[in-house]
Chain A
Amino acid sequence: MEIIKAQHVNFYYGSFHALKDISMEIEEKSVVAFIGPSGCGKSTFLRLFNRMNDLIPKTRLEGQILINGQDIYGKNIQVDQLRKEVGMVFQRPNPFPKSIYENVAYGLKVNGIKNQDVIEERVVESLKGAALWDEVKDKLKKSAYALSGGQQQRLCIARAMAVSPQILLMDEPASALDPISTAKIEELIRELKKQVTIVIVTHNMQQASRVSDKTAFFYMGEMVEYGRTKDIFTNPEKEATQNYITGRFG
Chain B
Amino acid sequence: MSTLSFPENNSRRKTLNQKIAFACCFALSLCVVLVLASILLFIIIKGIRVINWDFITQAPADGMTGGGIFPAIIGTLCLMAGSAIVSFPVGIMSGIYMNEYATNGKLVRFIRMMTNNLSGIPSIVFGLFGMAIFVNYLDFGDSIIAGSLTLGLLSLPVIIRTTEEALKDIPDSMREGSRALGATQLQTIWNVILPMAVPRVITGLILSMGRVSGETAPILFTCAAYFLPQLPSSIFDQCMALPYHLYVLATSGTDLEKQQPIAYGTALVLIIIVLIINLAANGIRKYFANKVKTN
Contact = CB atoms under 8 A, between A and B. Distances in A.
B175 interface: yes
Contact of B184 (A82, A95, A110, A141): A110
Contacts of B176: 52, 55, 88, 90, 94
Contacts of B233: none
B181 A110 contact: yes
B293 A87 contact: no
Contacts, number: 79
Decide if the interface of chain B is mainly helix, strand, loop or mixed. helix
Interface string A87-108: 1101010111111001000110
Contacts of A87: 180-181
Interface in A60-112: 80-84, 87-88, 90, 92, 94-99, 102, 106-107, 109-111
A201 B176 CA distance: 17
B196 interface: yes
A209 interface: no
B294 A83 contact: no
A163 interface: yes
A84 B292 contact: no
A244 interface: no
Contacts of A55: 175-176, 179
Interface residues of B, number: 23
Interface string B284-295: 000000001111
Contacts of A142: 294
Contacts of B187: 110
Contact of B177 (A81, A84, A94, A99): A94
B192 interface: yes
B178 interface: yes
Interface string A107-119: 1011100000000
Contacts of A81: 182
A57 B103 CA distance: 7
B173 interface: yes
Interface string B155-178: 000000000000000010111111
Contacts of A83: 179-182
B58 to A, nearest CB: 49
A143 B192 contact: no
A232 interface: no
Contacts of B192: 96, 106
Contact of B182 (A80, A98, A99, A102): A80
Contacts of A98: 292, 295
Given A84-B181, A99-B294, A143-B295, 4 more contacts: A57-B103, A110-B191, A142-B294, A159-B177
- Smallest CB-CB A-B distances: 3 pairs: A84-B182, A107-B181, A94-B173
Interface of B: 103, 171, 173-184, 187, 191-192, 195-196, 292-295
6 contacts: A55-B175, A94-B171, A96-B178, A96-B192, A159-B177, A163-B182
